[in-house]
Copies of this chain bind each other. A is one copy, B any other.
Amino acid sequence: MTRPTISDVARAAGVSKGAVSYALNGRPGVSEATRRRILAAADALGFHADRAARALAGAPAKTVGLTLYRPARTLGVEPFFMELISGLEAELSLRSYALLLHMVADREQETAVYRRWGHDHAVDGVLVCDVLDDDPRLPVLRELGLPAVVIGPFPAGGRVSSVWSDDAVSLQEAVEYLVALGHRRIGRVAGIPDLAHTRIRCAAFANLARKLRLECAPTEYTDYTGPDGARATRLLLGAADPPTALVYDNDIMAVAGLAVAQEMGLTVPGDLSVVAWDDSPVCRIVHPALTALTRDIAAYGRQAAQLLLASLDGREATGVSVEAAHLTPRASTAGPANARPPA
């Protein structure tokens, strides 16, 4: 009743262990006929190579690693990551790869985990999220020789594959839409300032503000949580000449901002237009439903997994840009109630 080993298969097929290994791994060294006989025997016995043994012998562990950086006080994880993981898993499962997940509370832990993985035969490669400009993890991964794919903007150093879309295009779509509705004062509730994609969005926003001659274009940074989004909203709306539209860097904060506006007695979209970046179910569920920058997050995950798997197969790819997020207009945006005519 114990599990069949490669020796059992070899005996059943009347060949040596080595031949079985070659046959199973699709290597040259066995004739087509014996290969078929071996595969049939393996199948009949329900043989699956032991991962630990494979890994120890230097073969791929068929496992990829993902660390998630969550400061201790942040409970749970954003919808973004859940969808991302769904997408990753969908692709990895197809190829019989496992996902090793590790949450860390600080950045040093994260590189420590990479080092352990790299030395441990634990994972064949890693997926890297929440990239910083000049991210300290990337040199560590290179030093370890651990294949990696970045889920985020293509990192400055180059040399590592990445999957991301053009956030500048998406932001432009949202802001031009708001301007077309008559908004001239547009605020942004941004995420964590260190993150590379936050920087990209900020630069794009500054450009747009200049190009479109916005009256004001304030940005407030947050840690992506609902409460912090609420705080930022209060701050922006409390200004002397407050924005008439707010673009949020995630859905959770947009929902929080919506509630804040309503508490302050503002109607949405009458007094304030709200746009969410990322379109999780909650955007459709609140009232009014939120205009959102919609993208297929699970697709990022699938693409990232494909890219990593490709590089594990020795097929290098340097970067893939996926479809940018596009605007899905809903009930939370409209022209400002007392819009002044364009100057």
Contact = CB atoms under 8 A, between A and B. Distances in A.
Interface of A: 3, 48, 50-53, 55-56, 61, 63, 70, 75-77, 79, 81-83, 85-86, 89-90, 93, 98-104, 116, 119-122, 225-227, 230, 252, 255-256, 258-259, 262-263, 280-282, 284-287, 289, 298
Given A76-B79, A252-B281, A281-B252, A100 B98 contact: yes
B61 A89 contact: no
A102 B119 contact: no
B85 A285 contact: no
Nearest to A121: B52
Interface on chain A toward B: helix, strand, loop, or mixed SS? Answer: helix
B298 A285 contact: no
A33 to B, nearest CB: 29
29 contacts: A50-B119, A50-B120, A50-B121, A51-B52, A51-B122, A52-B56, A53-B121, A75-B83, A75-B298, A76-B82, A76-B280, A76-B298, A77-B85, A77-B86, A85-B103, A89-B101, A89-B102, A89-B103, A98-B102, A98-B122, A99-B100, A99-B101, A101-B101, A225-B281, A226-B281, A227-B281, A255-B285, A259-B286, A263-B287
Contacts of A70: 86
A43 to B, nearest CB: 15
Nearest 7 pairs of A and B residues by beta carbon: A52-B55, A3-B119, A89-B103, A77-B82, A52-B121, A76-B83, A226-B281
B287 A259 contact: yes
Contacts of A230: 285
Contacts of A93: 102-104
Contacts of A282: 226, 252, 255, 282
A230 B339 CA distance: 35
